[in-house]
Every structure is written in structure tokens, then in C-alpha cells.
Amino acid sequence: MDRYAIMGGTRLQGEVPIGGAKNAALAILAAAVMTNEPVRIENVPDVTDINVLLKAMERIGVKIERPERHLVIIDGSRIESCIIDDEYLKRIRASYYLVGALLGKNKQAEVPLPGGCNIGVRAIDQHIKGFSALGAKVRILHGSIAAQADELRGNHIFLDKVSVGATINIMMASSLASGKTIIENAAKEPHVVDLANFLNSMGANIKGAGTDVIRIRGVEKLHGTDYAIIPDQIEAGTYMLASAATHGDVLVRGVIPKHLECITAKLCEIGCHITEYDDAVRVSAPEPLTSTQVKTLPYPGFPTDMQPQITVALGLAQGTSIVTEGIFENRFKYVDELIRMGASIKVEGNMAVISGVPRYSGASITAPDLRAGAALVIAAMAAEGETIIEDTRFIERGYEDFELKLRAIGAKIEKVSSDRELKKARLRLA
Ligand code: EPZ
């Protein structure tokens, strides 16, 4: 099992390039099977979640070529089965995007459901509501979601809860339904808009993505396309927070600054200096940071996927901060690890009350999930002394070349896979 060894206390400085958005890519790759013509997708991040999804798609007969690291060509013309039976796939939540895609194209799909999750209950009632409203019969059978329809017909769907996944799934299935679908209370995240743009480039007719009412006029079939995925808002935000917590000065390159406004606004409040360029954002952070209040909300609110990273920075800010988790009920699990590094944080229900401390101190800790893992790496870089983060797998689900990119901006971090390598790394990091 790989570990990160990190020697803290370095100010991050320099430039970091941002890759394609993992959560947009998961939806777009799944949607690419909806045509029988080849689809060429650029800017696909090379992270585990994406690679697992691609493997599962290959298993059902989708032809996948990857001529370059970030370029994927998908040919969904010879799908042999609409049943995904893949142990791997249970590990990624986004596997259920294949339900929307295959139900739309072939009017049937069966996909294993992910089990419990480290960040809380991950209900799928809104997905089921959406598929059923389009005329599908949906059953949960032996740990899988199975959906089948003789014909899909457009409908007026009011989501009871803003859900990125349900919005995406309904958008996919209804693109190939007959008639008009209206999704009310839709999610507005950048990757929802990216998927709509992608489907439209394949001949779909989707209007209003990015607002809370999305209108889809079903078409008979979709065609091939050539598309580039948007930059990853959360990867960018993570490096911005890493700069803030280490009192660094980092230029985060290849981003859409508009997508980062919910993050830049909070960084300004805690005393960081932000400069926006056409496709880059520079974050420089004075010492000390100041406290603030944050509540995670659907886009354009502050993203839940940035909650652990901002909590880590606020743990080092002067005064008392409050972070309220408004999306998932169990996303403060990492706080225990942060407390072991010297943070002063009390969690009550969905709220963390943070009394800033001058610094963290290195410890041996575990990454409980993807974003919390990245946040703990930030804490380690800001800490005094050495931190060992056990098990890098969660982090690699969503961050490409994490330690390489961090090293390029001055972090002292190494990935090691044995005790022997750890010993050597310690000598280099000291
Ligand atoms: C997406 O998950 C992202 N995943 C998550 O990113 C992100 O945290 C989340 O949106 C919120 O922004 C992908 O895009 C692959 P939701 P998703 O449906 O679609 C409840 C990361 O770190 N809900 O918007 O699963 C649900 O329990 C990951 O990259 C229902 O009640 O999230 C949650 O409380 C982690 N019923 C809230 O809605 C449903 O049918 C939002 O979930 C569906 C969801």
C-alpha cells in the first residue's frame, strides 16, 4: 500500500497546471456510448475513478482507445450487454451514469450500486423518480439498479432535492426519449453544463443547463463528436487552498475563473490576495489568515468537495470559524486525524467549530476519503515536522500526479510503497 511522506513547513510557490474535471469526465465518458459513431474526448484526467469506469465500459463491448494520456476515443457501436457486472465498478459512485446512458440508448440497463460511503448516505431515490417518470420500470435487485422501458417518454420532473447525479442521469435518458422533458430544481454545477454541451454536440437538444430548469427535447439518435472536458474546479480549488494554508504564492493555471468564484470569495474573506487572469488564478496568502463562516451548498454555493480543504486552512486562521456541511451528513470524519495534528475543532452534527491554532504538527494519519485525503496532505505541508499519510488510493481516485504537481511548487512530499523506500525518502526530505 502506497503512503505519502511529507515534511511540512514549506511555503508553496510557483505554477500548477489543472487537468480535466473528473466529475464531468465520468458523465461524459458514460454518455459517449449513446451513439454508434466514434466520439473523441480530450482533456480526460488520468485518475483511478476514470480508469475504472473505462474498464467497465470495455467489459460490455465498448471499444476504447487512448492514443494519448488525456485523449480517449470511444466506439459504442458494438455493445454486447447492458448488464454491468463488475466488482470494480461498485467502488465508484458514478457507475450509475451508465444507467442513464444505456437506458436512453437501449432502453435497458443493470448496474451494480455502490455500497455505503465514507461521506454519508448516498440515496438514489431522485434517479429512480426521474427514470420512472420517463416510463421505465426500475428495480433494485441483488445490489444492482435495473431499469427497463418499452419506450421512454418525456415528462415534467420536479426534483425533491438538488442532485448532480440525478440531473445528469435524467438528462442522458431523456435526450433519447420521445417528446419534451423538463427538470425543475436541477443541479447547476459546471459539470452538469459540460455534459449538456457535450450531448448537444452529439445532436441532443438541451436548453437551460446551468439554471434550475433544464428543458430537453428528445431526439431519435445521437452522432459522433469531438469534445474537450472543462478544467477541474475542485482540483484547482485544492491547490488554491494549499497555497492559502502554507502562506504561499501559487498561480493555478488552465482554469475557468468563473467556476472558482465561490472559492475565491472565501479566500478573500480570510485575507488572501487573489488575482484573476483569463485562464488562471493567483493566490497569495499572508500570515496569519483570518477566521470566517462557510456553509456548503449546491453550485454556485461553496462546494462540499472543498469543505475539508477550507477547514484545514481555517484551523490555522486567527479566531473562531464555523463550517457547516449542507450536502452530506458525514463529511467530518477526517477531523479526528486533524485533531491528532494539533487542530482545535469541535464537530456537532453537521457543524464544525474551529478555534485557529498557530500551526499543526506532523503525525501518522489515514486518509478517509478523496477530498479529506487531499485536505490532510495540505495540513501536512503546513505542519511542523514529518507526516505519514497511510494509503494514497483514495487521493489517486481524483488527483492526477498529486505529489509531482505539489513537488513542482516546492512541497516536500514523496510517495513510497515500502518501509525501505520510506527510510530513503526520510533522508531526502529531512
Ligand atoms: C456528485 O455526487 C459528485 N460526484 C460528488 O463528488 C459531489 O460531492 C456531489 O455531487 C455534490 O456536489 C460526481 O459528480 C461523480 P448529489 P452525487 O446527487 O451526484 C442527496 C468527489 O469528491 N441525494 O448531488 O452523488 C445525497 O444524499 C465526489 O468528487 C438524495 O437524497 O451527489 C446528498 O445529500 C464525492 N437522493 C445530496 O443529495 C438522490 O437520489 C447531493 O447529492 C440523490 C442524492
Report pLDDT for 116: 47
**117 a catalytic residue:** yes
Catalytic site residue from 117, 262, 268, 272: 117
Tell whether ligand 1 has an atom less than 6 A from the beta carbon of residue 238.
no
| pLDDT the model gives residue 188 | 98
Q: What are the angstrom distances between the C-alpha of 343 and each of 171, 238, 299?
A: 43, 19, 29
CB 90, CB 118: distance < 8 Å? no
CA–CA distance from 364 to each of 40, 351, 376, 399 (Å)? 43, 25, 11, 21
Does this model's pTM top 0.85? My answer is yes
Handedness of CA 131, 132, 137, 138 (dihedral sign): positive
Cα–Cα distances in angstroms (integers) from residue 227 to residues 39, 56, 98, 353, in the given order: 8, 22, 19, 43
Give the Å distance between the CA of 271 and the centre of ligand 1.
30
Of 216, 26, 27, nearest to 133 (Cα)?
216
Q: How far does residue 206's CA lie from ligand 1's centre (Å)?
A: 22
Q: Verify whether ligand 1 is closer than 6 Å to residue 308 (CB atom).
A: no
Q: Give the distance from CA 193 to its chain's centroid.
A: 15
Angle at 417 between CA 413 and CA 423, to 5 degrees: 65
DSSP codes of every residue in 137-148: EEEEETTEEEEE
Contact 353, 322 (CB under 8 A): yes
Give 10-residue mean pLDDT values along the chain (430 residues). Answer: 95 98 98 98 97 92 97 96 76 86 96 68 88 97 91 98 97 98 98 98 98 98 98 98 98 98 97 98 94 98 98 98 94 96 97 97 95 98 97 94 98 95 91
- pLDDT attached to residue 118: 66
350 lines ligand 1 (CB under 6 A): no
29, 48, 99, 122: residue to mutate for ligand 1 pocket, most atoms within 8 A of CB: 122
- pLDDT confidence of residue 104: 97
- Which residue from 22, 48, 161, 234 has its CB within 8 A of the most atoms of ligand 1, so it is best to mutate? 161
At 63 the three-state DSSP class reads strand
Q: Is the CB of 398 under 6 A from ligand 1?
A: yes
Pocket mutation for ligand 1, best pick of 23, 159, 167, 399 (most atoms within 8 Å of C-beta): 23
Question: What is the rounded CA–CA span in Å between residue 114 and residue 169?
Answer: 16
- For residue 115, what pLDDT is reported? 57
β-strand pairing of 39-42 with 144-148: unpaired
Set out the domains of the chain in order of their start, with CATH numbers: 3-18+231-429 (3.65.10.10), 22-228 (3.65.10.10)
Q: How many CB atoms lie within 10 A of CB 59?
A: 16
Query: Which residue has the least CA distance to atom 31 on ligand 1?
Result: 123
The response to whether residue 371 sits with its C-beta less than 6 Å from ligand 1 reads yes
Q: State the distance from the centre of ligand 1 to the C-alpha of 121, rounded, in angstroms.
A: 10
